[in-house]
Amino acid sequence: MNSSQANTTATQATVAESNRSRIMQHLYHNGISSRAQIAKALGLTPAAISKITAQLIEAGAIEESGDMEGAKNRRSIGLRLDTARFHIIGVKFARSLVQVGVFDLCGNTLALEDLPPVTNETIGDAVRLMHRRIESMLDEDSSIIAVAMAVPGPYMRDEGRTAVVSSMLGWRDVNFIEEFGHAFRVPVFIEQDARAGALAHYLFDPESHGEDELSYFLVGEGVGLGVIERERIVNGALGAATEIGHVSIDVNGRPCDCGNRGCLERYCSTPAIHEMLIDEGGPVPGAEHLSHAEAARALFALARQGVAQAVEMVRLIGRYIGFGCVNIFNTFNPRLIIIGDIVSEAGTLLLDEVKATVRSRSIREIYDSTEIRLSAMPTDATVCGTAAVAATQFLDHPSMFFELG
Ligand SMILES: [Zn+2]
């Protein structure tokens, strides 16, 4: 084969994969459809649709669903992509908190568990335990088609490593690609945590489905941001873009492990809240014996009961998150900012303070055209967002998952 023939073959393969992907996407978003409906929607010939769908049915990617009412009362056979039949293992690594679950292609949670809390000294144990858990889940469930992981940013995509995990630097030594990239019988996808959260809202959340200028502002064990701009995730050269947690809100402020001072993460993440509760004698008794998440949740419960000191602390945290939102406004001008993860559990009191802060510090036109709300997904957006990461690959690259000519 000469080089021009090779190029032609490569192009044909790319076109074939693109058409398979478009059909998978159509069935995913529109449900049961006839071949004629797909042909019309995608602008492909009936002959091409017949050929490609036959191939996808043969491979087990889609199936015929029986008769459906066609145009002029003619009956035609429906095709469908059974989103419940394909399962994804999703893992969230968030400093001390590690979760693993099983999801379907629409992000429905089939199982979810917390692994024992991790310290800097037990990161290696947590990684080994995760290998064993995933292996046994793969043994138990033959429907699993992928493993997807959400890891703290700044995640250097090509290298497979997180550059700085403030307050738990041990995670820096884990190379996620070397550790997990080829460890299992199914493909493995790794994404920065807040980007997985953004994708979850884009793909699975009926309130924001298809919103193509969306930011997911993760405020939990870390502080991160995932930005979807014109249907594309913003990554940056190394994958380290949109690291709002390391944007300074006080150039002379608290030192951060990244080398900067006053990083947002040092004021509103759960480790920062926990530190404030311990150092400043906050309203949570015995806070030093709790985990970061437990301490933050105890504070939020007291604030809901109206305990004045707790209310004041939640308002302060809301102001810090508001400063973050102002930076997001001015950098990305999204239509929607969704605040999620543990700190969003503080609820309306927090959100009201965020909005008041943003209103007083941002350009009026941008404020008026931007919605800020709390994540309302039934499962944490990052962990179920891992399924969105895998589902996106599944729909974009069917040949990665099926034997297709
Ligand atoms: Zn920093």
pLDDT, position 73: 65
Q: How far apart are CA 329 and CA 324, in angstroms?
A: 9
Query: How many angstroms separate the alpha carbon of residue 265 from the centre of ligand 1?
Result: 7
pLDDT, position 165: 74
* pLDDT, mean of each 10-residue run, the chain (405 residues): 70 90 96 95 95 96 83 79 97 92 97 92 93 96 97 88 77 90 96 97 93 96 96 91 96 94 97 94 92 96 97 98 97 97 98 98 95 96 97 96 87
CB atoms within 5 A of ion ligand 1 belong to 246, 256, 258, 260, 263
Contacts of 192 (CB under 8 A, 6+ apart): 150, 151, 152, 153, 154, 155, 224, 226, 239
pLDDT, position 344: 98
pLDDT, position 313: 97
> Start-end ranges of CATH 3.30.420.40 in the chain?
87-199+391-400, 207-376
Longest dimension (CA), the chain: 77
Query: How many angstroms separate the alpha carbon of residue 74 from the centre of ligand 1?
Result: 63
Query: How many angstroms separate the alpha carbon of residue 344 from the centre of ligand 1?
Result: 21
pLDDT, position 405: 67
Query: How many angstroms separate the alpha carbon of residue 263 from the centre of ligand 1?
Result: 5
Q: Can you give the pTM of this predicted structure?
A: 0.93
CATH topology of domain 207-376: Nucleotidyltransferase; domain 5 (3.30.420)
CA-based radius of gyration for the chain: 23
pLDDT, position 11: 85
Query: How many angstroms separate the alpha carbon of residue 185 from the centre of ligand 1?
Result: 37
> Start-end ranges of CATH 1.10.10.10 in the chain?
3-80
Q: How far apart are CA 159 and CA 70, in angstroms?
A: 51
* Nearest CA among 193, 208, 249 for reference residue 334: 208
Kindly report the CATH number that applies to the domain delimited by 87-199+391-400: 3.30.420.40
Q: Which CATH class is domain 3-80?
A: mainly alpha
